[in-house]
Amino acid sequence: MDLIPVCALMIIQELQKKYAAGERNFTDLNLFEANLPGMNLGSVNLSGVNLSITNLSGSNLTDSNLSQAKLNGAHLSGANLNCTDLNVANLY
């Protein structure tokens, strides 16, 4: 069984809490290796965020800003990327 480090779990819980409260700007986060499958992140600003090796499979990223984000090794299978800005994102 893989254990999620406490600090990573706290970041994910804080992200979910802030998103539910209507916040959409998360450019200050480091989500390296975060486990976010199926998460609703529609219309968020994650520009420049490190999402390397992050599990975003099945997540909703519709209308989100991922410009200049680091997505190398990210798991995006089944993720909804409709109208998502991937300008200058690192995808490899």
How many distinct structural domains can be found in the chain? 1
Which amino acid would we find at residue 2? D
- Domain assignment present for 58: yes
**pLDDT exceeds cutoff 70 at 6:** no
- Domain assignment present for 46: yes
Q: Which domain holds residue 73?
A: 1-10+27-92
- Domain assignment present for 78: yes
Read off the CATH number of the domain in which 54 is found: 2.160.20.80
Number of H helices, E strands in the chain: 1, 0
- Domain assignment present for 34: yes
- Domain assignment present for 57: yes
Lowest mean pLDDT, pick from 8-12, 16-20, 44-48, 82-86: 8-12
pLDDT digits (tens, 9 = 90+) for 19-74: 999 999 999 888 999 999 999 999 999 999 999 999 999 999 999 999 999 999 99
Could you give the dihedral angle defined by the CA atoms of residues 66, 88, 72 and 26, in that order, rounded to the nearest 10 degrees?
A: -30
